[in-house]
Structure 1
Amino acid sequence: MTRNDDSSLNCDVLIVGGGPAGLSLAASLGQAGLSATLLELQGQEQLADPAPDGREIALTHPSAALLQRLGSWQLLQAHEVGLLRAAEVHDGPVGRSRALHLHSGGSGVEHLGWIVPNHALRRTAWQVASDMPGVRLLTGARVQRVATHASHAEVEYRDAAQPDAPVQTLRAPLVVAADSRFSAARRQLGIGAAMTDFGRTVIVCRMRCELAHDQVAHECFDYDRTLAILPLPDDVADGAPLCSAVITADSAQAQALLALAPEDFAASVAAQFDHRLGHMQLHGQRHAYPLVAVYAHRFSGPRCALLGDAAVGMHPVTAHGFNLGLAGVASLSAALADARARGLDIGAPEVLQRYARAQHLQAWPIFQGTNAIVRLYTDTRALPRLARRAVLGAAMRLPPLQAAIVSQLTGRRPAWPVRPAPGGR
């Protein structure tokens, strides 16, 4: 099928959702010479200077390389980029048994990755996309309808600040849904998703620490709740060590933790971490998020594709959610640029299936492996406890298994074998 040259089309690609994945896609398409229009409900001020939301994103080496190519990495401030040199996995109460130590030795890189605040990634993605030729950003746009036709895709929207404003219609050869794991655009496109509600809540916050963290992350699988400690750059105000605490608990526990006074909350986190970082203080606000994992039934359809959390919404335990989104940005951009260079219709099924297959092959094993880890390490029964000890023991004794885990953390090597993609992915 040849490219669509219909003059009634507004651009090459319509993108619904102005998160960091959608904005990065818009910038990547602009770099490739394609035009994109992105629609986002939030206003320009919120996107240009997003408020901290507590989330710290672990970035792999391929993700950092893509952000460097887009130019958003260079816009991050020095105190927003932290190194992740090593990681430790603890089974049961911290200090009760030997931890699994993971490092980058032998992987060809000097460290596992980087830690960057989510709001900084959003801000820099906006900066790059808003300055990219061929990219149009429509903020304060409330999307009313997303649909596809044989010749084009359509998005109807109105000005969110003016409920009585007339509905506007945009048309393009392709529409991309990138509007969260609970994507309304995905549903309007007729694509379902498998959702796993873990019945748990994630609390994220920053903590001031008495002792240095040495740029080591910790994943602590206690029997009542899990705790992740992520190393952050030192406080710019006074040089105090900072870390991010990520607590996963059932709803009742989460509400109880959120109700604690700041000093009592900090003491609870420090105690669960066996006071490894000494006295801790809450630094800023606590943020809570429901824990729901999502995997779309298809990543593409007639003149449409899914990206970011709209395609795959990950449990945060393996820190791969945004990395998968950036992998999708790279894969979809490459597929569309190649199609355009060959004179093909960028919304043709064969073009989009190339992206869908590549993204599924990368996402499926990570998604299933993450959910398996969560099920195993949040089950407090005796047999699962024995199984998780056996898994960690095997990883400690088998260097190839450690290397496989490190390869996933760094993003330097492909994942383990995956089942074939079902039709339409």
Structure 2
Amino acid sequence: MMHTDVVIVGAGPAGLCLANALSGAGLSVVLVEQQSDDALRGPAFDGREIALTQKSVAYLKTLGVWERIDAHAKSQLSDARILNGSSPFALKIGHALSGHAELGWLVSNHLIRRAAFGAVESLAASGAAVRVMASERVIDVDTDACGARVRLESGKTLAARMIVAADSRFSATRRMMGIAADMHDFGKSMLVCSMTHDAPHEHTAWEWFGHGQTLALLPMNPDPETGACRSSVVVTLEARDIDRLSGLDADAFNREIERRFERRLGAMALQTTRHVYPLVSVYPTRFVAKRFATVGDAAVGMHPVTAHGFNFGLDGIETLSRAMRDAHTAGLDIAGDALLARYEQKHRQATRPLYMVTRFITEVYTRDSLPARIARDAMLRVGERLTPFKRAVAMSLAGQ
């Protein structure tokens, strides 16, 4: 039996960042991950571009992750526009309202994963007590007042003081601990890919609530080979329509995306593979149990419309790791009931309001009835005139 202070299930960006934060305090950490070492060291492009707030970027810098990402791969997110249907009118959220030179930064998910894994490997090479057990699957967990145990499919058992689930919004580890979750299936899927286009994006993100579809445009740096304008494109439709769209050849796909964007970006060309994800938001009834906690999407699985998913994950990781580090320094239990209760309360207060607002936005802004379209247009026009409202949105997007 292997003994360690903390077992983290899941070596995605959330699990890796938590391991980084805890090992720096002298705690021993084991990460258990189903993927192979090669997949962790060189993760494949998965289509997802992550909008990072100013607060998240600052935290990734403290973890030594930010500088491991190539500078050209970090795209400035200057402003945001919210559009409704075919109207040329847009609610504009400018970066100046946030007090920063930009609202945040856009980085590919697989590059964050690679950088986070590199940071953990660097810690291990320098002598930190952090280990990644790749190609391993957890089949059972149990905890009590004295400790925690994790059993692996390979037959190994890990004994720890604390278990943390960081294994996706559909966390099997969370279920093993008997924690239920509110899962809301929106009945739609989103297709994500990168495309070049003729018209400049001016580093502005679009959220476009169209008729029968939702579109998003996330501004990326110019194509490194051609210098063409480039963006991450997100199309949300019913699953059968997404399946048809993802099956089109490249030329037909380009023409259809141009049509869906009403040719506001001019000619568009697919640059990457296409990836499809079901839209399901998840909020557990509890974030913690005896000697157990959830982080990242295992704690809160957000709808991407407000771009707060990974940012909430980092916020929770910072809160939990700080509490555990302080307890370790003081010679206290790093998995005490009171410590975990405080983490749950703080993370719930930080996430629940926006989780519910996001549910409301997606319900109201994706209805296609004529009254709903009129109401959306009216709300956007009123919002454009309310500077305090726009400032609040800008500060939220910046992570303040």
Do these two structures clear the TM 0.5 threshold for a shared fold by scoring above it?
yes
Query: Would you say the 8 A contact 2:97–2:394 is kept in 1?
Result: no
Output one character per residue of 1:206-265: Cα deviation in whole Å (capped at 9) or x when no partner: 101123211111111001101101111111122222111000001121122112221121
Is residue 246 of structure 1 aligned with residue 239 of structure 2?
no
**Preserved contact between residue 14 and residue 38 of structure 1 (Cα < 8 Å):** yes
* Secondary structure of 2:224 counterpart: coil
Match of 2:129 in 1: 134
Q: What stretches of structure 1 of length at least 5 have no aligned partner?
A: 1-7, 160-166, 413-425
Which residue of structure 2 aligns with residue 75 of structure 1? 68
Q: Within 5 Å, give how 1:224-373 maps onto structure 2.
A: 224-373=212-361
Structure 1 match to 2:149: 154
Percent sequence identity is 43
Maintained 8 Å contact 1:227/1:247? yes
Secondary structure of the corresponding residue to residue 164 of structure 2 = strand
**Count, aligned residues:** 396
Runs of 4+ in 1 over 4 A off after TM superposition: none
Partner AA of 1:90 in structure 2: L
1:112 has 2:103 as partner: yes
Conservation of the 8 A alpha-carbon contact between 1:203 and 1:287: yes
What secondary structure does 2:4 align onto? coil
Contact kept? 1:32, 1:333, Cα under 8 Å: no
Q: Determine if the alignment matches structure 1 residue 40 to structure 2 residue 33.
A: yes
> CA RMSD for the aligned pairs?
1.2
1-structure distance, mates of 2:391, 2:97: 8
Q: Which residue of 1 aligns with 2:49?
A: 56
Q: TM-score, normalised by structure 1?
A: 0.91
* Residue 212 of structure 1 pairs with residue 200 of structure 2: yes
Contact 1:202–1:248 (CA under 8 A) maintained in structure 2:
yes
1:191 and 1:9 mapped to 2: Cα distance? 26
User: Counterpart of 1:120 in structure 2: which amino acid?
Assistant: L
In structure 2, the residue corresponding to 1:105 is in which secondary structure? helix
Task: For residue 9 of structure 1, report the CA deviation from its aligned partner.
Answer: 7.2
Distance 1:58 1:64 in 2: 10
- What's the TM-score once normalised by structure 2's chain length? 0.97
2:93 maps to 1:102 = yes
2:85 aligned with 1:92: yes
Q: 1:320, CA displacement in angstroms?
A: 0.7
Deviations 1:116-142 (A, max 9, x none): 000000000100112221211100111
Secondary structure, counterpart of 1:182 in structure 2: coil
The range that moved more, 379-388 or 403-412, is 379-388
Aligned counterpart, 1:416: none
Measured in 2, the distance between the counterparts of 1:209 and 1:281 equals 6
Corresponding residue SS for 2:40? helix
Aligned to 1:381: 369
Equivalent residue letter for 1:108: G
For residues 208 and 53 of structure 2, the distance between their equivalents in structure 1, rounded to whole angstroms, comes to 21
1:79 is displaced (CA, Å) by: 2.1
Shift of 1:199: 0.6
Secondary structure at the counterpart of residue 211 of structure 2:
coil
The letter of the residue matching 1:257 is L
CA displacement, residues 52-78 of structure 1 (integer Å, 9 cap, x when unaligned)? 000000000010001101111000012
CA contact (8 A) 1:57 1:322 kept: yes
Q: Give the secondary-structure state (helix, strand or coil) at the position aligned to 2:146.
A: coil
CA distance in 2, matches of 1:328, 1:247: 29
Q: CA deviation at 1:394?
A: 2.0
For 1:115, the aligned partner's letter is: L
Equivalent position of 1:199 in the other structure: 187
Query: SS state of the match for residue 46, structure 1?
Result: helix
Q: Which amino acid aligns with 2:386?
A: L
One-letter amino acid matched to 1:134: A
Cα distance between partner residues in 2 of 1:178 and 1:236: 34
Question: Would you say 1:30 and 2:23 are equivalent positions?
Answer: yes
Q: Which amino acid aligns with 1:24?
A: C
Letter aligned with residue 189 of structure 1: M
SS at match of 2:158: strand
* Structure 1 residue 341, shift from structure 2 partner: 2.1
Tell me the amino acid that sits aligned with residue 120 of structure 2.
Answer: A
Unaligned runs of 5+ in 2: none
Q: How far off is 1:385 after superposition? A: 2.1
In structure 1, how many angstroms separate the alpha carbons of the residues matched to 2:257 and 2:320? Answer: 41
Corresponding residue SS for 2:3: coil
